[in-house]
């Protein structure tokens, strides 16, 4: 068996040992080295050529962000950040994702050993997923660095099916690779889009707030983290709050966002399926569903409902996804009306909502 080679980078002996305990019993995973600071990490990546790196942020000599930049420039490799559940940790994590990290694992030091054990399943799953995709670094670097000049119009894409009837609301779901990819979509929506946009990105609470603030600073539309009770407004984007489920209730004025408690029976809080299903039930044929890069199949059930209610479904294509999981599930279910590149998505939303 060819084992997945993992380099663990963390200045905490406790965290290093905890990660070793998590991974050492896996027959297909091998820890090939440990680094206690960013300088060691850069050297060991070049020397050991690991398949995946776990990288802490706060370390002596050279911090994780600086090390990440050097690693992605000299020896690109899938890097999973270990991020604290704080506002500062969220801001740093978003910066790391921009620099080329493929994903992150949230950790809360207050949990002690119990909290570390909670990340075990997620970490193993992500290590296997990223190590098995040899093209992920190339796609990630393209996604992180490229910036489209303008959305491609439908007249330039004759293979993309045009439909009549303006949509009145957009339901967009994404996960792994989403924070970087959303920066290639939301800032390119016009200020007069004319409809509200609801977004689910799989992230913890403080992270969704940071994501909303970052997108707001880049966009012509208004972007906020949903707090619940908002009457949705045209030209506003509402990011689902981490740790909650976001649904919408239609009203004569459009709709009201409701936040529901975390559901222990669901893998994701917020869930794309939950949000999209509520949009489908309330708005039916007036709904536009969009699915973007992400691991797993969250969104496929909700978008099936949306399609059955007469709504329209746009999926990101495989080549432009950082992880072709959630879009794959939608495409293979046969419910995608359009399959377009990442840089086409803003244009397609505009076409279907503004005309």
Catalytic residues: 175, 202, 298
Q: Which two tokens stand for residue 206?
A: 């403080």
Q: In the 8-state DSSP scheme, what is residue 249?
A: E
314 bridge partner residues: 290, 338
| Alpha-carbon gap, residue 5 to 55, rounded angstroms | 14
**Which alpha helices (H) appear in 157-271, and where do they start and end?**
178-182, 205-218
Beta carbons within 8 Å of 114's beta carbon, 6+ residues apart: none
Locate 292 and state its tokens.
Answer: 């973007």
DSSP string, 3-30: PEEEEEE-S-HHHHHHHHHHHTT-TTEE
Q: CB of 72 within 8 A of CB of 150?
A: no
- Give the contacts of 191 (CB within 8 A, at least 6 positions apart): 220, 221, 235
């Amino acid at each position: 068996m060819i084992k997945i080679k993992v380099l663990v980078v963390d200045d905490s002996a406790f965290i290093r040992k905890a990660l070793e305990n998590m991974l050492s019993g896996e027959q297909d995973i091998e820890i090939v080295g440990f680094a206690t600071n960013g300088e060691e990490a850069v050297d060991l990546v070049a020397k050991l050529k690991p398949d995946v790196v776990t990288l802490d942020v706060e370390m002596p000599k050279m911090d994780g962000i600086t090390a990440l930049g050097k690693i992605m420039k000299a020896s690109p490799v899938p890097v999973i950040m270990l991020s604290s559940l704080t506002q500062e940790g969220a801001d740093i994590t978003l910066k790391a994702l921009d620099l080329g990290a493929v994903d992150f694992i949230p950790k809360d030091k207050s949990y002690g050993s119990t909290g570390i054990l909670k990340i075990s399943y997620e970490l193993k799953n992500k290590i296997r997923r990223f190590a098995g995709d040899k093209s992920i670094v190339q796609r990630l670097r393209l996604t992180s660095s490229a910036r489209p000049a303008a959305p491609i119009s439908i007249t330039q894409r004759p293979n993309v099916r045009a439909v009549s009837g303006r949509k009145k609301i957009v339901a967009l779901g994404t996960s792994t690779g989403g924070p970087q990819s959303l920066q290639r979509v939301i800032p390119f929506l016009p200020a007069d889009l004319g409809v509200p946009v609801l977004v689910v990105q799989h992230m913890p609470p403080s992270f969704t707030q940071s994501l909303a603030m970052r997108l707001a600073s880049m966009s012509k539309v208004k972007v906020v983290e949903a707090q619940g009770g908002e009457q949705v407004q045209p030209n506003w984007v509402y990011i689902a709050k981490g740790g909650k489920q976001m649904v919408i209730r239609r009203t004569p004025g459009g709709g009201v966002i409701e936040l529901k408690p975390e559901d222990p029976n669901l893998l994701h809080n917020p869930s794309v399926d939950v949000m999209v299903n509520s949009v489908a039930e309330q708005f039916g044929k007036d709904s536009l569903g969009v699915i973007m890069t992400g691991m797993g199949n969250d969104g496929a059930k909700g978008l099936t409902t949306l399609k059955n209610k007469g709504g329209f479904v746009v999926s990101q294509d495989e080549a432009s996804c950082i992880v072709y999981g959630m879009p794959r599930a939608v495409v293979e279910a046969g419910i995608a009306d359009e399959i377009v590149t990442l840089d086409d998505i803003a244009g397609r939303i505009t076409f279907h909502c503004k005309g």
